[in-house]
Amino acid sequence: MPNYRWGIIGPGHIAENFCQQFPAGQTLYGVASAHSPEKGQAFAQKFQIPHVYADHAALLADPAIDVVYIATTNNVHFENIRAALLAGKHVLAEKPVTLNTAQLRTLMALADQRHLILMEAQTIYHMPLYDELAAQVRQRQLGRLRSLHASFGLHTLPDNPTGRLLNPQLGGGGLLDMGIYALSFARRLMTAAPQLEKTVMVPTATGVDDISATVIANAHHELGTFTFNLVPNAPEIGYAVYDRGYFIVDHYLRPEQAIFVDGATEEQSVIRAGHTDQAMGYEVTAMGHAIATGENPTQAWTLDTMTLMTAMRAAWGLKYPEERD
């Protein structure tokens, strides 16, 4: 795989994690902050990134940069990605890649027209454990996937309504920031695209989703149930039930192991693959392979999950300011 030169837009906390896990064989080349050149300078110094740009446009204008990692807030992903694609850059964008399906389809079409890769930085799509679970299904002859369940909760402080997670202006809410992991977990294991069957939601005082429960299904009769909590905490556990046994995946966002329970004997075994502290590095490696081959194996999963989330918010009546304009 070639050594690609990476530019970073949005040098915040998530981008720090990204740089800490950035793999050898790829190059962190430049960084830009839209609001604070000083922030970009400090970030570059911390991670020994050689080039700092005055703004996003200057970074995107540099022909030396091959691919851009976007880690800005949800509400500006669409415009940031569009600008990068128009500048001829491949894009790895933090989840959720866009606010809704219409935005995503627009960007996918633009990327296709320009022969560029647009990939979502969704750890679940790239953790080696999920490939290993698929292999275990075949080796153990577990039969059909029957049902999935995943929960997620984050103890968001309710007295900070302007914070990213509670602020509708920034595309906040439990679904786009945390529920997306549970739905991506389901899509990663399902054998066909899911559709929304039922969903209910309780909003926060700011109007974004706090607590929700959702049921999905697909043409292969695989069912999924999900519960999300924004303000109260909740366990991060996923279950995948097959004809002849089931998997329990604790901390399924970036897992390195799962427990398999045999359906007949109830015997348990531990399945291991990958490393949690390399999760974002796996995303970089996957992006590099996609650029080299011209094929994005995760694109359909991203589209199916975004379509599901868009349908859920439509059922809730939750629109963000950018969607109302």
User: Which tens digit of pLDDT belongs to each residue from 253-270?
Assistant: 999 999 999 999 999 999
Distance CA 274, CA 72 (A): 27
Q: Per-residue confidence at 1, pLDDT binned at 50, 70, 90?
A: confident
State residue 232's pLDDT score: 78
State residue 312's pLDDT score: 98
Report if residue 111 sits inside a domain.
Answer: yes
Backbone angles phi, psi at 202, to 5 degrees: -115, 125
How many structural domains compose the chain? 2
Domain hosting 263: range is 125-281+305-324
Are residues 87 and 133 located together in one domain of the fold? no
Are residues 159 and 248 located together in one domain of the fold? yes
State residue 155's pLDDT score: 75
Is the model more confident about 152 or about 27?
27
Helix (H) / strand (E) containing 282: helix 279-293
Report if residue 188 sits inside a domain.
Answer: yes
State residue 323's pLDDT score: 87
Which residues, listed in sequence order, are joined to residue 229 by a DSSP beta bridge? 153, 211
Report if residue 292 sits inside a domain.
Answer: no
State residue 162's pLDDT score: 75
Domain stop point among 96, 122, 148: 122
Question: Which positions ≥6 away from 36 have C-beta within 8 Å?
Answer: none
Distance CA 47, CA 146 (A): 45
Enzyme catalytic residues? 95
Are residues 227 and 277 located together in one domain of the fold? yes
Report if residue 295 sits inside a domain.
Answer: no
Domain stop point among 75, 102, 122: 122
Are residues 130 and 271 located together in one domain of the fold? yes
State residue 36's pLDDT score: 85
First-to-last alpha carbon distance for the chain, in angstroms, is 43
Q: Per-residue confidence at 325, pLDDT binned at 50, 70, 90?
A: low
Q: Per-residue confidence at 222, pLDDT binned at 50, 70, 90?
A: very high
Report if residue 300 sits inside a domain.
Answer: no
User: DSSP assignment of 261-278, as one string?
Assistant: EETTT--EEEEE-S-GGG
Are residues 49 and 185 located together in one domain of the fold? no
User: Which tens digit of pLDDT belongs to each residue from 273-292?
Assistant: 999 999 999 999 999 999 99
Are residues 182 and 319 located together in one domain of the fold? yes
The CATH number of residue 267's host domain is: 3.30.360.10
Are residues 239 and 99 located together in one domain of the fold? no
State residue 322's pLDDT score: 84
What is the rounded average pLDDT for all residues in the chain? 95
State residue 37's pLDDT score: 85
Report if residue 320 sits inside a domain.
Answer: yes
Distance CA 75, CA 58 (A): 21
Domain stop point among 122, 140, 167: 122
Distance CA 287, CA 296 (A): 8
154-165 average pLDDT score: 76
Contact criterion met (CB below 8 Å) for 22 and 28:
yes
Report if residue 77 sits inside a domain.
Answer: yes
The CATH number of residue 93's host domain is: 3.40.50.720
| Cβ neighbours around 306 below 10 Å, total | 26
295-317 average pLDDT score: 98
Contact criterion met (CB below 8 Å) for 219 and 234:
no
User: Which tens digit of pLDDT belongs to each residue from 93-139?
Assistant: 999 999 999 999 999 999 999 999 999 999 999 999 999 999 999 99
Are residues 134 and 170 located together in one domain of the fold? yes
Are residues 29 and 145 located together in one domain of the fold? no
Question: What pTM was estimated for this model as a whole?
Answer: 0.96
User: Which tens digit of pLDDT belongs to each residue from 166-210?
Assistant: 999 999 999 999 999 999 999 999 999 999 999 999 999 999 999
Are residues 197 and 100 located together in one domain of the fold? no
Are residues 206 and 145 located together in one domain of the fold? yes
Are residues 144 and 271 located together in one domain of the fold? yes
Report if residue 297 sits inside a domain.
Answer: no
